[in-house]
Chains A and B, each alone.
Chain A
Amino acid sequence: MTTDTAAGRFGRYGGRYVPETLVPALMELEAAYAVAQRDAAFGEEVARVLREYVGRPTTLTPAHRLTKSWGGAQVWLKREDLAHTGAHKINNTVGQVLLAQRMGKKRIIAETGAGQHGVATATACALFGLPCEVFMGALDVERQALNVFRMRALGAVVRPVESGSRTLKDAMNEAMRVWVSQVEDTYYVIGSAAGPHPYPTIVRDFQAIIGKEIRAQTQAAIGRLPDAIIACVGGGSNAIGALHPFIPDTSVRLVGVEAAGHGLQSGQHGASLTLGTEGVLHGSRSLVLQDENGQIQEAHSISAGLDYPGVGPELAHLAKTGRMEVRTATDDDALTAFYEVARTEGILPALETSHAFAAARSLARDMGKGQHLVINCSGRGDKDVATISARGVPPATGVKS
């Protein structure tokens, strides 16, 4: 079963709202991807790289101390933070850069928010020998210095984007503008489950490895499917990857967690599923944060990866139809969860991932004992240490028994 209701449509959402110059390139991509999907050799090549290079399958870790501390459902962590480069983003970039190579494209461009997708794209480009340019909001360049260095070390050019809110949305605008002018020989690797058709489908398909592994691993560990899976949602790539394979399994609760930033009432958040309205941003119709005049509002989150006023169209559809529950976590909730996970499980989660942990606690308690909850641990927090440590470190006695 799939939620696709027509090519590139997920219920009311999706589509291809782009300048005409890009339409032929998107059609070419759609056709090339369809052929690649039918080609067993392509699938095997992607699987081989994921196995030999990325380190898949990532493990499913039982979080014993977190389970005990929360006193509810048994908690499992899907360890995307252990994938090469430290986040799930590499699943998609390996697939798309191999696709680009297959299509004979000569150069790669990408946008990035937290820098994880930029790093993952630069990594795949280094691996397969393609030149790489990454567009990144100037504000994100400042707050994600580690990832900026990693991209440069990997041979990519990082282009800071000074327009608008100087974050992910502006980086995506600029990447699309540059793509329009170089569309013949350039492949644009979108990292989010957003963008014009066929990107939301391509990104979902490459990220669905997460959910497929969760399925096999929970079957092996507990002999059945989990009762709930929870993931953070910015554009939504880790969430759709973890959740999509379970859409037909109605016994499995699917939960997305959005950034509430300074609070949902503050007007400074990234909660487009919770508070957004229908609109078109970056090539697809989805839920977006906008004013009554259709101007896109600036999002806010402590985590650059959730600092986005839109969301992937399939996630909007899953939320609106009620298949996915949507919760939120504030900046402060995420910081609290970051230390809790660090000190209870010995894992420094990314700030994005910390939002999923923050909302998972009450979910685990509500679910109760005997139930199984999988948290998609989408990335590691090393990139965020400057942001987090700037707020001071709690005393070392915070370990719970």
Chain B
Amino acid sequence: MSTELGKAFARAKARGEGALVAYAMAGDPDLARSVDVFAAMVEGGADVLEIGVAFSDPIADGPVIQAASERALKAGATLRRVLDEVVPEVRRRCPETPLVIMTYVNVVMAMGEARYAKLARERGISGTILPDLPPEESAALRAAFDAEGVDLIPLCAPTTPPARAEGIAKDARGFVYCVSVAGVTGMRAELPPNLSDRLDLVRRAASVPVVAGFGISTGEQAKALVAHADGVVVGSALVRAAHSDGPQAAKQLCADIKRGLKR
């Protein structure tokens, strides 16, 4: 596991907090201004940044991130440009914060798995989340990532049977991304009642941190989960805040959620 990710979770834990993994879309509204959003989220307390790289056909994403993807693609965001223009600048402004790329497998395949892993590591990327790459299809890609020390962060779903969930957790790199609701990304008023049981099960099996994501948008929701997870991922709510009210709104929301994450 990348030491940066481990350290970030450990720092949050030492402060008596769950970690906030904050997502925004690189290139929304444009490449330069998305850097401001990432930096603002760190000011608001984000412990890990998840940098979204747009894909034309985002099947795991709800309307908010779909719209952000379209804006980013119009603004010229590509994996190469994000790695060359966004990541180094975020790294410079937030040197302590580990960075994770979230995109779809075709985007990485188009660059070449090994080439991506090498470039990502050079630019300071700790891990990568590919929501359309289940374990059965990931062997070759993960070997290429392991060779460069980039964590392929696995997802576990509410529909994943317990034994499979334990397998995913045991084998995980970086952290385990527990998808909280059966569905696409986006805010939900309520999270499923059995989510805490699922998080407990995955946490028992995992040797890396476990985070809950999809549907989480408030400090209240984060508070309810913090006993069962090492952190939460917040995406659509931050993307929406940054899009409608700018980086300061995303910073504010991060701070609200961080308050909820205090143990």
Contact = CB atoms under 8 A, between A and B. Distances in A.
Contacts of A25: 159
Contact of B57 (A20, A173, A181, A278): A173
Interface in B53-86: 55-62, 66, 70, 73, 78-80
A295 B109 CA distance: 11
Main secondary structure, interface of A, reads mixed
Interface in A5-64: 15-25
B19 interface: no
A17 B132 contact: yes
A21 B70 CA distance: 24
B155 interface: yes
A285 to B, nearest CB: 8
B184 A181 contact: yes
B75 to A, nearest CB: 13
A248 interface: no
A20 B160 contact: yes
Nearest to B184: A177
Nearest to B133: A17
A293 B80 contact: yes
Given A280-B132, A290-B106, A24 B161 contact: yes
Given A16-B137, A20-B160, A294 B59 contact: no
B227 interface: no
A292 B110 contact: yes
A-B pairs, top 3 by smallest CB distance, nearest first, are: A294-B110, A181-B183, A21-B157
Interface string A308-326: 0000000000000000000
A295 B55 contact: yes
B56 A295 contact: yes
A183 B108 CA distance: 28
A280 B109 contact: yes
Nearest to B67: A163
B110 A293 contact: yes
B70 to A, nearest CB: 8
Given A21-B182, A177-B59, A279-B109, A294 B155 contact: no
Interface string B28-66: 000000000000000000000000000111111110001
A104 interface: no
Interface in A55-95: none
A23 B136 CA distance: 10
Interface residues of A, number: 36
23 contacts: A16-B136, A18-B59, A19-B134, A19-B157, A20-B179, A21-B183, A23-B134, A23-B136, A164-B57, A177-B59, A177-B61, A177-B62, A177-B184, A280-B132, A282-B59, A290-B106, A290-B110, A294-B106, A294-B107, A294-B109, A294-B110, A295-B56, A296-B57
Given A21-B179, A24-B161, A294-B110, A164 B137 contact: no
Contact of B164 (A24, A183, A288): A24
Contacts of B132: 17-19, 280, 283
B106 A180 contact: no
A176 interface: yes
A288 B154 CA distance: 26
A169 interface: yes
Nearest to B182: A21
Given A280-B109, A281-B57, A294-B110, A20 B156 contact: yes
B109 A19 contact: no
Contacts of A15: 136-137
B186 to A, nearest CB: 10
B105 interface: yes
A16 B137 CA distance: 7
B147 interface: no
A17 B161 CA distance: 18
B124 interface: no
A293 B79 contact: yes
Given A16-B137, A181-B183, A21 B159 contact: yes
A165 to B, nearest CB: 9
Nearest to A297: B56
Nearest to A169: B57
B47 to A, nearest CB: 24
Given A293-B107, A296-B57, 6 more contacts: A15-B137, A20-B134, A169-B57, A177-B61, A293-B111, A295-B56
